[in-house]
């Protein structure tokens, strides 16, 4: 429970199940000199015993029960809007997917997606960090927590009512990912940026954008543009939040499975990546020579294309192993002629890892393809 606003204070913070356990936070030691014997004694009392630590990873949680909005039916943001759109909904009960997201709205969204809980032993004051936010403002407490954890790393003015730019959205999202993973995740290969407007991405955010693209947390808009200075829409904000939650769910098991797609020379390239984040080898067993599959669907959920159709696989049980830290990438291409014949009908796609494992969970329903042309 957060103490009443209006005073600076010290506290113990947790993100549910964070690796490495609870983190002690003394705000005066972070921002100001400790004044008085009582304050010093209070802060000294905040050291947690080693037994309070836990090895459980972070848990990402939906903001509320799933809600349905009439203005997102049949759109690419329907699922994340249902999962994470509650804080945006006004009196009309609509989501308004194309409306700009404010900086404070996204701070609240990140806070709730991560399920952050910090118990302060003295009252907090948002003025410790920002001079344009009051303790009584909606979201001030969430913003204070994010600033304390370094997820929001601005100083001085926060500009809570300003529209959040797409590059700012990515920056805060990557800060949240790094903190939630306790800095343990590795990106051995970072995709080189190839957007038509690369030059417009601020140097301070360039690495964040490259890492987010590599992790399939974000993709371009329109004809290969990133639009870094454009306002992030509500649809984009909840979609990125949902992808962050999915990434963290994979990180909990130590194995991250993602599916993506991109147009290349008129064809459609489909990729399924399995990333072993653990320090041990993992494996999955398959009943034939088929290790994966890709399926394209129309808006009604009917199959338009299945990669494995008409293919013959060796009928022999096999095992595929991934070494510690290894990334295994499976890629197939829908030829240009086939792709052209169904391109306008594609509404979604899924990648499947065919097999079972005692080391990690494999979703039999597959993995939604992100970064695809039909989601832009």
Q: Where are the domains of the chain?
A: 10-248, 254-375
Q: Which of 323, 333, 304, 322 is nearest to 362 (CA)?
A: 322
Residues 6+ apart with CB under 8 A from 308: 290, 293
Which residues on adjacent β-strands are paired with residue 259?
A: 272, 369
Give 328's strand partners.
274
Sign of the C-alpha dihedral computed for residues 161, 163, 164 and 167 taken in this order: negative
Residue 257, beta-bridge partner list: 274
Token pair listed for 133:
């936010």
The answer to whether 275 and 248 have CB atoms below 8 angstroms apart is: no
Distance, in Å, from the CA atom of 78 to the CA atom of 2, rounded to the nearest integer, reads 33
Q: What is the 3-state secondary structure (H, E, C) of 288-317?
A: CCCCEEEEEECCCCCEEEECCCCCCCCCCC
Measured CA to CA, the distance from residue 208 to residue 204 in angstroms comes to: 8
- What would the CATH number be for the domain defined by 254-375? 2.60.40.2360
Q: Which residue has the tokens 């994966």?
A: 292
Q: What is the pLDDT along the chain (376 residues), one digit of tens a residue?
A: 444 444 344 454 545 444 333 333 443 333 333 333 333 333 333 333 222 232 333 344 444 456 678 888 888 888 888 888 888 877 788 899 999 999 999 999 999 899 898 888 889 999 999 999 999 999 999 999 999 999 999 989 999 999 999 999 999 999 999 988 776 555 544 556 778 898 999 999 999 998 888 777 888 887 778 999 999 999 999 999 998 988 887 776 788 888 889 898 999 999 999 989 888 899 999 889 999 999 999 888 899 999 999 999 998 889 999 999 899 999 999 999 999 999 999 988 899 999 888 888 888 888 888 766 765 5
pLDDT of residue 34: 32
What is the strand order of the sheet 117-120 is part of? Answer: 23-26, 10-14, 117-120
pTM of the model: 0.62
CB atoms within 10 A of CB 19: 18
Q: What does the DSSP assignment read for 211-230?
A: HHHHTTS---BTTTB--TTS
Reported for 335-343, long-range contacts at CB under 8 A and 24+ positions apart, including other chains, are 335/267, 336/265, 336/266, 336/267, 338/305, 339/266, 339/267, 339/268, 340/266, 342/296, 342/304, 342/305, 343/268, 343/373
């Amino acid at each position: 429970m957060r103490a009443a606003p209006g005073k600076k204070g010290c506290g113990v913070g947790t993100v549910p199940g964070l690796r490495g356990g609870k983190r002690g936070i003394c705000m005066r030691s972070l921002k100001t000199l400790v004044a008085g014997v009582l304050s010093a004694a209070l802060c000294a009392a905040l050291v947690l015993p080693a037994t309070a630590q836990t090895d459980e990873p972070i848990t990402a949680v939906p903001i509320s029960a799933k809600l349905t909005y009439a203005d997102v039916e049949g759109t690419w943001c329907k699922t994340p809007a249902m999962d994470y759109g509650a804080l945006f909904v006004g009196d009309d009960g609509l989501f308004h997917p194309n409306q700009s997201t404010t900086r404070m709205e996204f701070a609240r969204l990140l806070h709730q997606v991560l399920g952050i809980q910090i118990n302060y032993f003295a009252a907090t004051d948002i003025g410790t960090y920002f001079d344009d936010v009051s303790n009584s403002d909606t979201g001030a407490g969430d913003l204070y927590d994010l600033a304390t954890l370094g997820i929001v790393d601005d100083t001085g003015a926060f500009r809570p009512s300003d529209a959040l730019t797409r590059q700012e959205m990515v920056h805060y999202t990557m800060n949240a990912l790094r903190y939630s993973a306790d800095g343990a995740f590795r990106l051995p290969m970072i995709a080189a940026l190839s957007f038509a407007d690369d030059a417009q991405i601020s140097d301070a955010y360039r690495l964040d954008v490259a890492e987010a693209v590599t992790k399939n947390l974000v993709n371009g808009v329109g004809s290969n543009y990133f639009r870094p200075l454009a306002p992030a829409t509500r649809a984009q904000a909840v979609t990125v939040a949902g992808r962050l939650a999915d990434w963290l769910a994979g990180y909990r098991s130590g194995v991250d499975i993602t599916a993506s797609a991109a147009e290349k020379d008129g064809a459609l390239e489909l990729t399924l990546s399995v990333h072993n984040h653990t320090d041990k080898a993992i494996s999955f067993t398959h009943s034939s020579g088929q290790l994966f599959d890709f399926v394209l669907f129309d808006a009604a959920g009917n199959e338009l294309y299945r990669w494995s159709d008409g293919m013959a696989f060796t009928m022999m049980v096999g095992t595929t192993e991934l070494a510690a830290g290894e990334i295994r990438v499976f890629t197939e291409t829908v030829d240009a002629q086939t792709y052209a014949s169904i391109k306008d009908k594609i509404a979604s796609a899924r990648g499947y890892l065919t097999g079972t494992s005692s080391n990690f969970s494999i979703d039999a329903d597959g993995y939604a393809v992100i970064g695809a042309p039909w989601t832009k």
